[in-house]
Amino acid sequence: MKKILFIISSLNVGGAEKILTTLANHFDNIGYKVTILIATKNSGFFPLNKNIEVVELKRVKPIFTLINELKREILAINPDITISFMSEMNILATIASKLANKPILVSERSAYDFLDIKPIWKKLRRVIYPFVDGLVVLTNADKNRYHFVKNRYIIENPLILKHNHLNIKREKIVLAVGRLNPVKGFDLLIKAFAKVKNRDWRLRVVGDGREREKLEKLVKKLNLEERVKLIGLVKDVELEYKRASIFVLSSRTEGFPGVLCEAMGYGCAVISFDSPSAPREIITDKKDGILVKPNSIEELASKIDYLIDNPKIRDNLAQNAQKISNRLSIDIIGIKWFRVIDKILRRG
């Protein structure tokens, strides 16, 4: 039985955390021994199979102590391969894995130029990543940006859809989902929604984060309290997708946005800023969604109005969007991961 160790900073709510738990459950289902190593207390937000062990690091500061703790746990768990998620943890886990003489596959879940990565980590990434045994990225654009890493692979995020709610009627709702931080561009979306001509439609934003207070003030400033709701975190986001008619991704930059894929899979007509990397590798413009000039509030408002006013076009986009479920099934994505892992282990 092959042993896989996943390493990530936390298992709190987030796109990377959701993908990791999805992959961990899939590996466990097909007979791998799976362990997850985290640097914070497990919130249990995403369900894990009962066979999967979660190990919480006892000491996380300073950095050198954390690296030593990672090395100690890697040696104790003795995995066939370690798979790390997200830049900062990838760097630390790579150093620890090399000290432990164990192969490591690092996975980037955000775009190369992700705005929330501090400059020091970007510099360290450039120095450390050439030593990894493999790097998984989400798009062809990012594969090209990591030219300094020898073994690079494109593996998209798997799409897991639930179907607990059937025959839900679509409402006059524009939906957005994600962390409330600057990179997600919810300020741009709220400003665009203020320009939408049809006042019968509502905007619902699912998620929480450090920009909540700022966004609430913006909603109040634009007199949108009756039409825009910041509803926080929800366990059952599926119901939000099934109620909404339109989904908007307003991010300033993205890796491979799971929320966009989920919205398409659940049958929303989607609009996205054509931000660097991922959206144009997910959406075929005017076929299964609409791409908008990055950060253009005016054009975003115009396209929302366009879909509101043209229900047949909206329905056609939504029907085509649902085909993404086949392309991103966990079985297909899982095979891609198995091939990369096997290649690294055979390389020795």
Q: Do 255 and 129 share a structural domain?
A: no
| Domain that residue 93 falls in | 3-158+329-347
Residue 60 has what pLDDT? 59
Residue 166 has what pLDDT? 82
Q: Do 19 and 148 share a structural domain?
A: yes
In this structure, are residues 104 and 93 in contact, taking their beta carbons and an 8 Å threshold? yes
Residues ≥6 apart with Cβ < 8 Å to 318: 267, 268, 269
Residue 245 has what pLDDT? 98
pLDDT at 1 over 80: no
* Amino acid letter, 288: D
The H-or-E segment that residue 260 falls in is helix 258-265
In this structure, are residues 229 and 212 in contact, taking their beta carbons and an 8 Å threshold? no
Q: Can you name the residues that pair with 87 across neighbouring β-strands?
A: none
Q: Do 315 and 177 share a structural domain?
A: yes
Any idea what the CATH number is for the domain that residue 225 is in? Answer: 3.40.50.2000
Q: How confident is the model at residue 313 (pLDDT cuts 50, 70, 90)?
A: very high
pLDDT at 58 over 80: no
Place of tokens 């940006």: 145
Place of tokens 């190990």: 55
Q: Do 95 and 119 share a structural domain?
A: yes
Q: Is residue 166 part of a domain?
A: no
Domain tally for the chain?
2
Q: Do 151 and 67 share a structural domain?
A: yes
Residue 315 has what pLDDT? 97
Q: Is residue 228 part of a domain?
A: yes
pLDDT at 219 over 90: yes
pLDDT in tens, 241-267: 999 999 999 999 887 888 999 999 999
Residue 309 has what pLDDT? 98
Q: Do 150 and 189 share a structural domain?
A: no
pLDDT in tens, 14-34: 778 989 999 999 999 999 999
Q: Do 123 and 60 share a structural domain?
A: yes
267 vs 127: CA distance, rounded Å: 43
Residue 116 has what pLDDT? 66
Q: Which of 49-58, 93-102, 180-189 has the lowest average pLDDT? A: 49-58
Q: Do 153 and 10 share a structural domain?
A: yes
**What is the average per-residue pLDDT within 57-63?**
72
**What is the average per-residue pLDDT within 276-300?**
93
Residue 277 has what pLDDT? 67
Q: Do 112 and 78 share a structural domain?
A: yes
